Amino acid sequence: MEKKIIVAGLGHGGIAAAAQLSKAGFDVTVYEMKSEGTLGYDWTDIFAPDALAYAGIPMPSPDKFEYKENMTFFGPSEHIGYCQHVPQDKLEIKLERRDIYEHLINHAVSCGVKIVYDCKVLSPLVIGSRVIGIKTEKGDFYADLVIDACGMNSPVRSNLPSAFGIEKGPLRHEKITIFRAFYNKASDAEVEAKFKVCLLKDGITGVSWVASEDDYTDLLIGRFADFDIDEVNRFADILRKTNPRLGTEIVRGGQFVEIPTRQPLSQMVCDGYAAIGDSAFMTVPVIGSGIANSLKASRILTETVLADTACLFNIETLWSYQYNYFKMLGSGLAPLAAAKLLLLDLTADEVDYIFDSGMINEDNITIGSDFTGLTKINTNLTDIITKGMRVCKYPPLLRKLPSSGLRISKAIGACAVIPKRYSPDALKNWKKMYEAAFRYNRKG
Ligand SMILES: Cc1cc2nc3c(=O)[nH]c(=O)nc-3n(C[C@H](O)[C@H](O)[C@H](O)COP(=O)(O)OP(=O)(O)OC[C@H]3O[C@@H](n4cnc5c(N)ncnc54)[C@H](O)[C@@H]3O)c2cc1C
């Protein structure tokens, strides 16, 4: 009999996995709470296009995308900016979020995937240790495997019984609140950098970007705390001092949303269940890009499912999805999540020192959506020694860096020893080691 797979939520990785599994002969249905044609946000997104090929998805038509500008990173005082140098063959593409969705959905439907819109998923259906389906506003649906692509606040993941051992939700410091809007262009003033990213501007822990496009200015404000529209207006006024093209009228977007910026889920699978995309916290921790990683994960998950020829879909057979995800991507992302915790503790003066003293440079600021680990940051021995000496000259950093270094080493160490085969004890011991790398008490 044809085996049934449910994809809960039309997340990017979920719909990409649905397409591959449907093509391979499974009966796949996606349940999405939004209405047909309303998915995505009213803005553009950036991701590495090789992820599409990896997931067996064709490139969108050339009129739908353009190549992204390099970003220039600044400290709070904006004394000096470091521009990324993304090589030509690694350039990311920029396209409307709704066009990304349309492209993925059309491909999945052409592979035989069924999509049920306007259907809110409420929780998993569970018998014993196994997920057997989903409870939705339109009734209960059963399947041999549930793929959870409901995003960061998935009601499937967060309503799994605690005994399954899967973390329920991100902590406050593990997600960033984003306000993003396109503003009118206030002037034709020349811009020093077309895509400016600023860390800890105004001394506030977070990141902001101002991208000066031909017809509008794209503003993003991200913080590890809640904020409201009054604060957006106050902060935008500060940014206007160094970004005269940033107008005051919102022409598109203008929403608050959240992105996970933490380590991948310590347990992505259990009997009858696998999490993908934001539901498994697959974003690049510092910059929040998650599309490319979700698409790549879809192939790893599909290969795992196809390798389970007896269609058991239990934690033993699904474990190689998590193992291979960590080998390919998670082992690079997790140390970055540990490094991100340092950013939460830095003051504006310290970040300015890092920029002004040259502790970072244009090579090591080149982080993109296909970033797969700290080792990708271009450093050599002389570079490391020079940077070490600069840290020694600045005692506040000297005090903060050892604990950060320890966390990063723990994360690298844990990822290196992720068990290849599942056993309850091996998973329990590994999770303990992995989670220890991210223990963090926010100061202040
Ligand atoms: C402002 C912003 C900018 C971003 N920019 C980029 C970028 O430039 N590049 C990049 O790579 N990434 C970017 N990201 C991150 C990226 O969107 C995600 O990492 C990526 O989409 C993977 O998430 P997902 O598809 O798994 O989940 P989501 O995008 O959250 O999708 C989840 C889906 O499940 C549906 N759903 C949720 N709950 C339910 C429910 N109860 N019942 C039924 N359906 C449900 C939702 O409607 C949605 O369709 C950005 C995110 C934000 C918020």
- Segment 115-150, tens digit of pLDDT: 999 999 999 999 999 999 999 999 999 999 999 999
CA of 39 to the centre of ligand 1 (A): 10
Ligand 1 close to Cβ of residue 167 (< 6 A): no
Mean pLDDT of the chain: 91
Q: What distance in angstroms lies between residue 422's CA and the mean position of ligand 1's atoms?
A: 29
Q: Is the pLDDT of residue 279 over 50?
A: yes
Q: Are strands 4-8 and 206-212 parallel, antiparallel or unpaired?
A: unpaired
> From ligand 1's centre to the CA of 189, what distance in Å?
34
The yes-or-no verdict on residue 383 having pLDDT over 70 is: no
Q: Which amino acid is at 412?
A: I
- Per the CB < 8 A criterion, the answer to whether 276 and 294 are in contact is yes
**Dist CA 179 CA 177 (whole Å):** 7
Residue 29: strand pairing partners: 6, 114
Over residues 422-444, the pLDDT tens digits come to 999 999 999 999 999 999 876 64
Rg of the chain taking only CA atoms, in angstroms: 22
Residue whose Cα lies nearest atom 5 of ligand 1: it is: 45
Say yes or no to pLDDT of 296 above 90: yes
Cβ-contact 45, 95 below 8 angstroms: yes
Helix or strand (DSSP H, E) at 7: strand 4-8
pLDDT of residue 444: 46
272 CB near ligand 1 (under 6 Å): no
Q: Which of 6, 12, 123, 293 to mutate to test the pocket of ligand 1 (most atoms within 8 A of CB)?
A: 12
Q: How far apart are CA 46 and CA 61, in angstroms?
A: 16
* CA dihedral sign of residues 327, 330, 332, 338: negative
Cβ contacts of residue 38 below 8 Å, gap of 6+?
none
pLDDT bin (cut points 50, 70, 90) of residue 370 is low
The atom of ligand 1 lying closest to the CA of 136 is 42
Q: Which of 153, 278, 329 to mutate to test the pocket of ligand 1 (most atoms within 8 A of CB)?
A: 278
- Does residue 277 have its Cβ closer than 6 Å to ligand 1? yes
Domain boundaries, the chain: 4-67+92-170+264-332, 173-260, 335-436
Q: Is 206 in the pocket of ligand 1 (CB under 6 A)?
A: no
Q: Which of 170-184, 256-270, 340-354 has the lowest mean pLDDT?
A: 340-354
> Residue for token digits 């390099």?
70
Give the ligand 1 atom nearest the CA of 260: 19
CA distance 93 to 182: 19
Q: Quote the CA–CA distance of 26 and 304 in Å, as a whole number.
A: 14
What amino acid is encoded at 121 in this protein? V
Q: Looking at residue 400, what is its pLDDT? A: 83
**Is residue 388 very low, low, confident or very high in pLDDT (cuts 50, 70, 90)?**
low
Q: What is the CATH number of domain 4-67+92-170+264-332?
A: 3.50.50.60
Cα(first)–Cα(last) distance of the chain, in Å? Answer: 58
To the nearest 10 degrees (0 to 180), the angle between helices 424-436 and 395-416 is 170
Strand-strand pairing, 175-185 and 145-148: unpaired
Atom of ligand 1 nearest to the CA of 255: 1
Domain spanning 173-260, CATH architecture: 2-Layer Sandwich (3.30)
Q: Which residue carries 């946000």 as its tokens?
A: 41
By C-alpha distance, which of 227, 223, 191, 246 is closest to 78? 191
Residue nearest (by alpha carbon) to ligand 1 atom 29: 11
Q: How far is the CA of 154 from the centre of ligand 1 (A)?
A: 11
CB count in 10 Å sphere of residue 79: 10
Residue 11 Cα, ligand 1 centroid: separation in angstroms?
Answer: 6
> Is the CB of 264 within 6 Å of ligand 1?
no
State the DSSP code for 126.
E
Nearest CA to ligand 1 atom 26: 277
- Mean pLDDT across 299-325: 98
Local confidence band at 57 (pLDDT 50, 70, 90 cut-offs): very high
pLDDT of 207 above 80:
yes
- The residue among 187, 159, 162 whose CA lies nearest residue 248 is 187
